[in-house]
Amino acid sequence: VAKRLEKFKTTIFTQMSMLAIKHGAINLGQGFPNFDGPEFVKEAAIQAIRDGKNQYARGYGIPDLNSAIAARFKKDSGLVVDPETEVTVTSGCTEAIAATILGLINPGDEVILFAPFYDSYEATLSMAGADIKCITLRPPDFAIPINELRSAISKKTRAILMNTPHNPTGKMFTREELNEIASLCIENDVLVFSDEVYDKLAFEMEHISVASLPGMYERTVTLNSLGKTFSLTGWKIGWAIAPPHLTWGVRQAHSFLTFATNTPGQWAAAAALRTPDSYYVELKRDYAAKKQILVEGLKEAGFKVFPSSGTYFVVVDHTPFGLENDIAFCEFLIKEVGVVAIPTSVFYLNPEEGKNIVRFTFCKDEGTLRSAVERMKAKL
């Protein structure tokens, strides 16, 4: 394997889902719903296939989807963007992140991450030859240590790669935090790459796109996808929204990574994004009920549960159960209890920082969540 990828192992999500199958454990690890996406979106994909929409799409997205993304972004953030020059459709948000990094970051540029971070960020920055600077968000509230962020910024800092609502912690960046980030970026001419795939799962506060802050649109790439919002994580439809001068870089990388994203999926995505807002209200209501089952259950089972404001994840402190670290705890949980969680130490540059924390997801039907909770209450 190439040196730039030597330190990375099989992703923790793949490892844990394989163990779940092997041990017949309930999988509250990898974040994928165990229920299906909406019928009308699936129908739209089937119809597109029947209608012969099966050849390469336009590289940066079928016009219909680019327009639907721009319309949705206007409703959500108030920003008016040109679907033709500021929206790029990609094969999932993970590709949008890769295209953004590979299209806009030079080897040796510094990029700031907040730990714990989603695993693809570090691997993709490594592929781009970027220097990673990491700021750790600490429990219980995972607030941004603004002074640390300020001192991490140097002349070589090209971008901050952030994620709100935040996987794995469920933290949402507050308006105050976003204002601080914005003023640091403007002052030091730094870009922001903002992964907002959980924006529709904001429970405790309003989601704010950093691009909507004064002076930020011109220096921000906003990244999103269909998967979480429409419970279709296997479709891999994502996008990047950015002003034309940044979109140019994103598109250059995208052209040579995947060239274009699957065509019928794009037609269906356009239909999905045009759904009335009531869909999102219902989605959130369903997830709020699931969240309550899991959070209450984890507390009753004896975990110290950290507050999660958004995403379909919640992190806990497992140390009341006396295992030495997050990996040992997750192994114990799979083998002795029959439940899968995700150890978080892999989401830090320094694994020690995550050794007390594990992540559970509640993107499962209520029966599954109840059985997992029962197992933990009985056996922990």
Give the footprint of ligand GLN on this chain (CB under 6 A): 11, 13, 30-31, 167
User: Measured from the CB atom, is 53 or 359 closer to ligand GLN?
Assistant: 359
Instruction: Name the nearest CA neighbour of 311 among 215, 209, 205.
Output: 205
14 class by beta-carbon count within 10 Å (0-12 exposed, 13-18 middle, 19+ buried): exposed
User: Which neighbouring-strand residues pair with 143?
Assistant: 138
User: Measured from the CB atom, is 31 or 264 closer to ligand GLN?
Assistant: 31
Q: How far is the CB of 167 from ligand GLN (least distance, A)?
A: 5
User: Measured from the CB atom, is 207 or 236 closer to ligand GLN?
Assistant: 236
Q: How far is the CB of 13 from ligand GLN (least distance, A)?
A: 3
Distance, in Å, from the CA atom of 147 to the CA atom of 245, rounded to the nearest integer, reads: 30
User: Measured from the CB atom, is 25 or 57 closer to ligand GLN?
Assistant: 25
Distance, in Å, from the CA atom of 225 to the CA atom of 203, rounded to the nearest integer, reads: 19
Structure tokens at 141: 């509230």
Distance, in Å, from the CA atom of 337 to the CA atom of 323, rounded to the nearest integer, reads: 14
Give the relative orientation of helices 278-301 and 366-379 as an angle to the nearest 10 degrees: 10
Q: How far is the CB of 40 from ligand GLN (least distance, A)?
A: 24
Q: Is 129 left (phi over 0), alpha (psi -120 to 50) or beta?
A: left
Beta carbons within 8 Å of 41's beta carbon, 6+ residues apart: 230, 232, 268, 269, 271, 272
53, 105, 188 from 201: Cα distances, Å = 31, 30, 32
What is the enclosing helix (H) or strand (E) of 143?
A: none
User: Measured from the CB atom, is 83 or 92 closer to ligand GLN?
Assistant: 92
**Residue 338 near residue 368, CB atoms below 8 Å:** no
Q: How far is the CB of 295 from ligand GLN (least distance, A)?
A: 18
User: Measured from the CB atom, is 119 or 177 closer to ligand GLN?
Assistant: 119
R_g over Cα of the chain = 20
User: Measured from the CB atom, is 31 or 297 closer to ligand GLN?
Assistant: 31
**Residue 120 near residue 98, CB atoms below 8 Å:** yes
User: Measured from the CB atom, is 112 or 315 closer to ligand GLN?
Assistant: 315
Q: How far is the CB of 93 from ligand GLN (least distance, A)?
A: 9
Distance, in Å, from the CA atom of 209 to the CA atom of 27, rounded to the nearest integer, reads: 31
Q: How far is the CB of 224 from ligand GLN (least distance, A)?
A: 13
Q: How far is the CB of 333 from ligand GLN (least distance, A)?
A: 16
Q: How far is the CB of 31 from ligand GLN (least distance, A)?
A: 3
